[in-house]
Chains A and B, each alone.
Chain A
């Protein structure tokens, strides 16, 4: 293998992309715009302010009125606006004056003191299941916080019983937001797909424009072509990964705990697999339009089944089998392990190994699809 010839290919790819501003935009600007959009959407979903009506029928027990105490705590809760509703709270929920209503029963305080199971009923509009879920979650979280601070603020003795619900999270914290979860997987997703698409199309162009024939009329070997491509696009993938990591951590202020160097390394290996997958699949297309048709074919399974949107363990068995062969699944696991669970490269060695194996396999199949002989 000639390093000079390999580097000639790498250099050419760098020059080509340097001159091709649209493609550069696709690699560097598109992920930033999409992440910014995603960040905006997920951030606004984090604190949808919930207007709440509280109907306190709690008669109290002795000096304590738990319903009142909870109400005042809830009023201080972030993202909850407590509205005073005179009249039927159910009606207020129905006509949309408030998003939800809490009803404390007359025996709320008494039940609490008597260690009886307490029920707090939440009135919700209920037509939109995802809205319902979000509201319930938000109320639960607010209640949890209210109850926790309440039991901490009241000294022992005549205080309400220890309604101690202490959240015990192994990873992350109660402040971990959807965006924080999405950021690591998005880094992998963009690295994989944009690099795949660009390699696939530029390699196809090399075939259709006839430059491939001229390339093979030189002493260059197919291994040199593949490695040259890999290094060229690998460089852009590296810059892209760096930009995405910096953007998500500095601008979107995504929380992370692990070492960003490992994030970078995992992303790079994934991108190298993507370059060679692009070369490999480009040999099955005759036109650029056909190459574009591969995009959904490759993207859809990875997007849906890699754990990016739905947890893999919730998938039916046969789909889990598909998930198991997707490199994105391993990249997602490794990236979330590193960024959210703060693990090191050694902890994600199995995932990293699978990604390396995938990259190596793709180098081999990409080389095999290259033929010097047109027939």
Chain B
């Protein structure tokens, strides 16, 4: 699999603006993400996380600014960027009439895995990974929410992408599975895959190598969890986020400004 410029960072975004009518979903965002790390995108709903992920795949056309993935410009080399990327959408976008196997097989085929034997082997591998090898013939419509999320992850991983874009991958996933997801994300990062994970769960943020705090299409802060805490001058990430986004937490109340980042 060719990776464009081997030396280039996984993602280089500069001055990215995306205007949807009156709404500015991305507002002059610049960001560089090195290869082989887990990068956490944190921010409330509507802060632009999904739009940013879509822009990385050429699924939204930037109003201005540029996006480079693995040294390739997304606007001109979108097909190669997409071929090397895996995108796990926020909603479990699966074909309900198809079985688990057929869903994963379809993903493999549209990513050009033409060799039947290799494809089969790889599908078996990812299904074991998400612990669905026993359910491969079940129609997706018969599966629980957590299981669907696992099928979606299998679909995203099947073609061995070098860049993984995971839009809130653990929503609706039980703690045990969430733990194994993250363990696996770490393994992937160690093998050189770059992961960009959006989340608004703070304990997941702690597991990321670097974090970007987003709000209203802007990057409020960027760095390791340690650096962000230091920048805010507080002891934990949640407080740091609230402080950096200009919302003071109300100590005694469970509501208040904190509801923006509740899971």
Report how far A17 CA is from B102 CA in the complex, Å. Answer: 13
User: Who on chain A is nearest to B93 by CB?
Assistant: A210
The interface on chain B, measured as residues whose beta carbon lies within 8 A of the other chain's beta carbons, has a size of 35
Contacts of B252 in A (CB 8 A): none
Asked if B89 and A219 make an inter-chain contact with CB atoms under 8 angstroms apart, the answer reads no
Q: Does A220 contact B (CB under 8 A)?
A: yes
Sort chain A's interface into a size bin: 20 to 34
Q: Which stretch in B105-113, B208-216, B223-231 binds the other chain?
A: B105-113
Query: Are B98 and A218 neighbours in the complex by a CB distance under 8 Å?
Result: no
Q: Report the bound CA distance from A214 to B109 in whole Å.
A: 13
Q: Flag if A210 contacts B91 (CB, 8 Å).
A: yes
The answer to whether B241 has its CB under 8 Å from any CB of chain A is: no
* Contact assessment for A220 and B110 in the assembled complex, using a CB-CB cutoff below 8 Å: yes
* Interfacial residues of chain B within 23-63, with CB under 8 A of chain A in the complex: 54, 57-61
Is A372 in contact with B59, judged by CB distance below 8 angstroms?
Answer: yes
Q: Is the CB of A213 within 8 A of B155?
A: no
Assess the B95–A210 pair: CB atoms within 8 A: no
User: Which secondary structure dominates chain A's binding surface?
Assistant: helix
Residues of B within 8 A of A209 (CB): 91, 93-94, 96
Contact of A215 among B61, B90, B110, B112 (CB under 8 A): B110
B112 lies within 8 A of A2 (CB): yes
Q: In the bound complex, what is the Cα–Cα distance between A372 and B114 (angstroms)?
A: 23
For residue A300, which residues in chain B have a CB less than 8 angstroms away from its CB?
A: none
Of B91, B93, B139, B155, most A-chain CB atoms within 10 Å = B93
Q: Mark A337-375, 1 if CB is under 8 A from B, else 0.
A: 000000000000000000000000000000000001111
Partner of A374, one of B54, B90, B93, B102: B54
Interface residues of B in 103-124 (CB under 8 A from A): 106-107, 109-112, 114
Min CB distance B100 to A, Å, is 12
**Can you give 5 contacting A-B residue pairs, CB < 8 Å?**
A4-B112, A16-B95, A211-B93, A213-B89, A218-B110
Question: Which residues of A come within 8 Å of B, CB atoms?
Answer: 2, 4-5, 7-9, 11-12, 15-17, 19-20, 209-211, 213-221, 372-375
Closest 4 CB pairs of A and B: A210-B93, A8-B109, A217-B87, A19-B97
